[in-house]
Chains A and B, each alone.
Chain A
C-alpha cells in the first residue's frame, strides 16, 4: 500500500497527501455484572487532500483498491478547485518525514474469553469486597490508529499506535444522594501490554474505594478563589486546556489572546511547558507520533520556557500564514477526517518542590486529586471538572469534597504558581481531545501550587 500511495502522490498536480487509515477498537462494558458492551470495531479507508490557491479539497472512501484511490484523488481535486481560494503568498513547508513506527504488542493476543474474564472477575471482586455499593461500572477498551501516508513532497510513513484503558466507577448512597467516583488505568500499548491482573489492581481499587468513602462523608467546597495544590494527575489537563489550546495557531489566527503575548512573560518563571513528538520527553507518554498527517516530521515545541511564551502549534497552512515552521501537529482522527492543528504529548516540566511542602504551605485551600473533562477558550479562560479532592486546613488534609469545577484565566493563573513538584505523571489511560474531531493525546506534568476559582454551593 505504501508503495502505491508514494507512486500516486508523486503524480499529484499540486501539493497533496494520500492516506490509508484504520482505527481498530474494542470495548467491554459491564454494569452490576450485566455485560452491556462486548465487541470490536474496525473503520478504514482512503483519503486524498489537495491544495489549490490557498484552500484544500478533501475526499475519502471506505476502500483500499486502485480505482477507489483514483476516485478520491479526482474528487479531492474537484473539491479543491470548487473551494476557489485566493492564491496564497509563500509555499507550504516541504519537510518530509519517513519511517515505520509499529508499536503493536509483541505478546500473544488475549482471546475474547480472556478479555471478558478480566472484567467479570474484577466485577466479582469489587462487589464481594465492597458490598454496600449502589453501582459498579467496569469498562475495558482499546484503540489503535494505523496509518500509511505519502505526500507529494516525498513523505512516506507507516505507523500503528495502540492504547488501552480500564475504567472502574463505584457509586454509594450518601445522606444527600448518590456519590460516584471513577479512576482509570492503562495507557500506551494494547490490552496485552497492561497490568490488569488482580494482584496489581487490588491496591488501586482499595484507594479508589477509600476516596469514594471519604467523598460520601465529605461536603461541598466553598465557591470562590482559593489556594490549591493540583496533584500531578491533574497537571496534564492543565497543560492541555489552559495553555495548549490557546496556543494552537488556527485559534491564534481566529483571535486567541495568546497571539498578543508571544515573547512575553505569561507564567511564573518556574513554568516550562512543551508539546512533544515521540512519546514525550521521558519516552513514557500514553501516545506516540513521529510523522504527522501532513507528512511533517515531528519536532518538540517549547510553548512556554521559564514563564515566557515562545511558540505556537502549527500545521503547514498556519505556519505559512504566520511565517513559522510546522513541527508535526497536523493530525486526523479517521480516514474521513482532514488533519487539524492538534496537540500531541503536552506537559509541564517537573520542578524541585515536594508535594508535602506544597500542602503544608496552605493555610486554607484545597488539594485536588483527579480531573474529569475540561474546556479551553480564546481568552485563555479554562475549566476542568474535579471529582476527587480534599480541604486543606492549616497545612493538613481535611475532609473530602464533592465534585466541583475549577477555572481560571491561564495567563493570570500561571503567574500565581509558587511551587512546581519534583513528581511527574502522564494522565492514565491517555487523554482524548475534541475539536471538530476527537483525537488521542498525551498529557502530563508535576503537582503544582497555585490559585484558582472553584465552583460550589458551599
Chain B
C-alpha cells in the first residue's frame, strides 16, 4: 500500500457520535491523477491532480443525513460532521436506514502504484508519429492518456473496516475525419486497464473505430423506413446497457416502474444472452472489493441464458424491499457468444451496424429512439455505406428477446465488457 492507514475515519465516527449519531459511516477516497492530453498535432496539456473526498453518513433513530467534503482542513471536517448530523435530524425515519454488519476484508491492492510518465509520453509520441501514415484524414481532439491511483477506505460504527487501492491506465480518443468539404461525425472510444496499453491503437477497439471513421466521409441515410436488424457494437452497448441495468436495479424496483419487477426466474431475453455483475473480476480495473456501505462485493449472474436470475440490489434497497443484497456496485459483463462479427454481418439481410446511440434517454418502459451515429448500412450480408440522418427506434425489452447472435469478440472497457449483439425488429428510418 502506498500510504499507511491513519485514524481519520475513526475520528469522524467519534465526532459523529458526539454530534448525536446513533450510528455512522465514512467512506474516503484518496486519488492521484495524471493526464497527457493531445490532439492530432501535439500534446497540449499535461495535468496532475490530487484529491481526497470523504463521504460521511450519520444515522439518528432511523433517519439518515450525509455530507461530503474534500481535504482534511479541521474546520471543514467539523462542519461536514455537523451538517450530516443536522440533515439526519431533519430526515424521514425509515427502518431500512442503518449501517451494515459484514466481514472486514484483508486490504485489497490492485494494479501499479504510479505511472511511468516518460513511458506514457513515449507511447503518445509514437501514436502521433504513426497517425499520418495510418489514418491521414483523421483529426483528433481531447485525446487523454491517463493514470489514476485511488485508495478507498471505509469505516462504520459497527467496527466494519475496509480498504483497497487501485491503480490503472486509461486511454480515450475523440476523433473525426475531414477531407476538403467532407466531414464525418465525431467518434470517441476508450477504456482502462491496469497496465499501460501495448499500443494506444489497441485500447478498447480504438484502431477499428478509427478505420471505420475514415470510411465514413461519404455518408447517406437509409431509404425510407423499415424494420430490420441491428448489430449493436460493444461501444454502443456501453451507452445502452446502463438503461437496462437501471431497470433491473433497486431504485427501479422501489419505484415500481421497472418492466422486469415481477420477472425473476422468467425468460426476459434470448437464450443467447447472459449478463453478469462482476465487480471482483481480475480484468476490471474499475471493479470494487466493497460497496458504499462497506459490504464486500461478489460476482453473480443477472441474466443467464435469457432467464432473469437476480436484480442489482444494494444494501439499503435490500432492507427496504425485503430482498437479499446482491450488488452494491455495478460492473456489467455480457458473456461472449460463438459467432464471429463477420458471420453476424453476413447473416443480416437488411439492417445496420449500430455503433453509437445519440438519443433521448430511454423511458421507464425502455422505449428508445435516436440517431445511429458512426454506423453503417448492411444489406444482403455486406457492409454497404456509412449512415447519416438515420434514426433507430424500438424497445429494449423486445430487443433483448429478439437477439439472434452474440459475437466471440469482446471489448473490455475496464469497468464493463461487451461483445457485439445482433437483434431484429428495430425501426430504422430517415427523412
Contacts and interface: CB of A to CB of B under 8 A. Distances in A.
A42 B142 CA distance: 28
Contacts of B254: 31-32, 34
A20 interface: no
Contacts of A43: 53, 68-70
A283 interface: no
A39 B39 contact: no
A177 interface: yes
Contacts of B331: none
Nearest to B364: A178
B369 A455 contact: yes
Contacts of A36: 251
Given A42-B68, A56-B44, A83-B43, A456 B255 contact: no
A54 B427 CA distance: 48
B267 interface: no
Interface string B147-181: 00000000000000000000000000010111001
Interface string B132-146: 000000011110000
A250 B40 CA distance: 13
Interface in A37-63: 37-45, 47, 54-63
Given A79-B48, A377-B186, A44 B70 contact: yes
A79 B47 contact: yes
Interface stretch (A10-18, A111-119, A354-362): A111-119
Q: Return the 10 tightest CB-CB contacts between A and B, nearest first.
A: A385-B360, A455-B369, A39-B66, A177-B365, A41-B68, A62-B71, A112-B90, A254-B141, A79-B46, A255-B178
A82 B361 contact: no
B405 interface: no
6 contacts: A112-B89, A254-B39, A379-B388, A385-B359, A457-B367, A457-B427
A83 B45 CA distance: 6
A404 interface: yes
Contacts of A137: 255
Given A39-B65, A112-B89, A223-B427, A179 B70 contact: no
B268 to A, nearest CB: 14
Given A83-B46, A223-B427, A225-B431, A453 B389 contact: yes
Given A171-B257, A381-B388, A40 B67 contact: yes
Contact of B49 (A30, A34, A176, A336): A336
A43 B370 CA distance: 35
A403 interface: yes
Contacts of B364: 171, 177-180
Interface stretch (B15-23, B191-199, B295-303, B391-399): B391-399
A263 interface: no
Nearest to B374: A377
B66 A62 contact: no
Interface of A: 30-45, 47, 54-64, 75, 79-80, 82-86, 111-113, 115-116, 120, 134-135, 137, 171, 176-180, 223-225, 250-251, 253-257, 260, 317, 336, 338, 372-373, 375, 377-379, 381, 383-387, 402-405, 407, 409, 436, 453-457
Contacts of B47: 57-59, 79, 338
B52 interface: yes
A3 B430 CA distance: 59
Given A59-B49, A255-B183, A35 B94 contact: yes
A221 to B, nearest CB: 9
Interface string B232-261: 000000000000000000010011110100
Interface in B91-106: 91-92, 94, 96
A165 B64 CA distance: 22
A39 B360 contact: no
B330 to A, nearest CB: 17
Nearest to B86: A112
Nearest to B363: A403
B391 A407 contact: yes
A457 B394 contact: yes
Contact of B51 (A45, A134, A179, A404): A45
Nearest to B88: A38
B414 to A, nearest CB: 18
A246 B159 CA distance: 54
B392 A375 contact: no
Interface of B: 33, 36, 39, 42-53, 57, 64-71, 73, 76, 80, 83-84, 86-92, 94, 96, 117, 121, 139-142, 174, 176-178, 181, 183-186, 225, 251, 254-257, 259, 320, 358-361, 363-365, 367, 369-371, 373, 388-389, 391-394, 427, 429-431
B53 A409 contact: no
A33 B255 CA distance: 10
A381 B429 CA distance: 16
A405 B369 contact: yes
Contacts of B86: 111-112
B47 to A, nearest CB: 4
A383 B359 contact: yes
B259 A224 contact: no
A85 B44 CA distance: 7
Most buried by B among A39, A59, A116, A385: A39
B51 A375 contact: no
Contacts of A30: 92
Contact of B45 (A254, A338, A373, A377): A338
B251 A31 contact: yes
Nearest to A43: B70
Contacts of B83: 39-40, 112
Contacts of A381: 185, 371, 388-389
Given A38-B66, A39-B65, A383-B358, A45 B46 contact: no
Nearest to A47: B49
A60 B49 contact: yes
B239 to A, nearest CB: 11
B361 A385 contact: yes
Contacts of A113: 89-90
Contacts of A255: 139, 176-178, 183
B251 to A, nearest CB: 7
B255 A256 contact: no
A82 to B, nearest CB: 5
B370 to A, nearest CB: 5
A455 B46 contact: no
A40 B91 CA distance: 13
A75 B34 CA distance: 11
Given A223-B429, A224-B225, A373-B360, A34 B320 contact: yes
Given A55-B42, A180-B363, A336-B49, 9 more contacts: A31-B255, A39-B66, A41-B68, A57-B46, A75-B48, A83-B45, A254-B186, A381-B185, A381-B389
Contacts of B394: 457
Given A42-B69, A224-B429, A455 B392 contact: yes
A80 B70 CA distance: 26
Given A336-B51, A457-B427, A42 B80 contact: yes
B51 A62 contact: yes
A147 B185 CA distance: 35
Most buried by B among A41, A86, A251, A386: A41
A19 to B, nearest CB: 13
Contacts of A58: 45-49
A69 to B, nearest CB: 14
A447 B49 CA distance: 44
B189 to A, nearest CB: 15
